[in-house]
Amino acid sequence: MRQIKKLDEGVRLRIESEDDLWVLAQLCRPQSTLGMLSHRRDSTTGTKEDGRAKNAERKPMWIVLEVEKTEFQAFTDNLRAHGIIKDANFDIGLHHTHIISPGDEIELSFPGGLVKSDLILLKETIKSGSKAKSGLIVVENDEIILFEVTSHGIRDVSQFSMRGGGKRISDSTSVRKGFFERVAKETALVFTEKIPLVICGPGLAREQFESILRLIGAKNQILNIAASIGGRPAANEVLAEGLADSFLGEHALVSQIKTIEEGLKRISTNGAVSYGSRFISEAADAGAIEVLAIDAQLLRSLDSGIRELWESISETIISSKGRVIQVSQDHDSAQQLMGLGGALALLRWKMD
């Protein structure tokens, strides 16, 4: 995401990647105004009376909406923002939908300016730049799982299993080689050579799979690392333990997962950690919070009481030189965070 210019109560931005759409989905809340170049049929050019003719000319124009709601699903390439037209060449007061994709320029404003949590998220996104997505491949002797990793989520892409013949045939070197060759070809189709790959898993099957990938001509940058377990838990282990930081260390996702997993470890050992709004608020007032991991949607709750509470807590943490990490819900660690009420704080010292 790139900031084009500052506005009186907002910013003009260029959307550069799918990850930017997740950030914009957090910023586009009810009462905000969103302007961009869009198209709308001009009913005055049609032939149908008292309605908008389908053959009416669609005209390009800058349309500013007062946002009512947004629709966004992770790992898609557009964000839909619905609202009432506030400023345009015609149809002011009617409904319209902006469909925002990478490459678009938008202007986003909020009465009184963007709130602090929005400004922090925006600043971090602009600073981090556009990080390439990565492929994460978990390899076992008889199963391979492909994941897509972006700055704010991890998604299952495909799962392949070697079938038939019982254990004797499943352990056959030739059968496994054929299975790996088939999956390697599929992998090369899913992940272009510009996408770096992390191959992980228990045992040595992962090394054989990398060799076959190279033999079929894959030119991706590849990091091959051992994991203590297979399946989706292996992917979580790689991200939580920092095993792939050389590839993913600057991704917001890694920071989110590491913070949550460290908090869960501290909970299990009765360490310096806090969760629950009351206890986190007390720790923030005491200046004890080093890092707060919080569901990004809590800071933008439609319940003004909840929203204002967490905005206040976040500002207190930042004023005491702590850090606030806004978490997406599109990975396993985030679901564990939701089970703790949506927020977890790593403390500088243990609170009684």
How do residues 318-327 score in pLDDT, each as one tens digit? 999 999 999 9
Q: Residue 240 corresponds to which amino acid?
A: A
Q: Enter the pTM of the model.
A: 0.81
pLDDT in the model for residue 28: 92
Candidates 3.10.310.10, 3.40.50.80, 3.60.110.10, 3.30.420.60; CATH matching 134-248: 3.30.420.60
Look at residue 314 in the predicted model and tell me its pLDDT: 96
What pLDDT shows up at residue 265?
95
- Select the more confidently predicted residue: 273 or 251: 273
Residue 214 pLDDT more than 80?
yes
User: 37-54: per-residue pLDDT in tens?
Assistant: 998 887 665 555 555 555
Supply the pLDDT for residue 312.
Answer: 96
What token pair was written down for 299? 């800071």
How deeply is 226 buried, as exposed, middle or buried, from its count of CB atoms within 10 A (0-12, 13-18, 19+)? middle
Question: DSSP code of 138?
Answer: E
Integer angstrom CA distances of residue 237 from 147, 243, 244, 291: 13, 8, 10, 21
**pLDDT at 36 (0 to 100):** 96
Average pLDDT over residues 108-132: 85
Q: Residue 139 pLDDT more than 90?
A: yes
Rounded to the nearest 10 degrees, the angle between the axes of helix 231-240 and helix 252-268 is: 100
Question: Which token pair is 302?
Answer: 């439609």
* Pairing label, strands 134-139, 197-201: parallel
Q: How far is CA 249 from CA 58, 103, 244, 318, in A?
A: 45, 26, 7, 23
* Strands, sheet with 134-139, edge to edge from the N-terminal-most edge strand: 153-161, 143-150, 134-139, 197-201, 222-226
2-128 CATH? 2.30.30.870
- Residue among 146, 137, 151 nearest 16 (CA): 151
CA distances from 272 to 181, 235, 266 (A): 48, 27, 6
As its CATH architecture, domain 269-347 has: 2-Layer Sandwich (3.30)
Counted residue by residue, the chain has a size of 352
Q: Where are the domains of the chain?
A: 2-128, 134-248, 269-347
pLDDT per residue as tens digits for the range 326-352: 999 988 999 999 999 999 999 999 987
| pLDDT value, residue 281 | 97
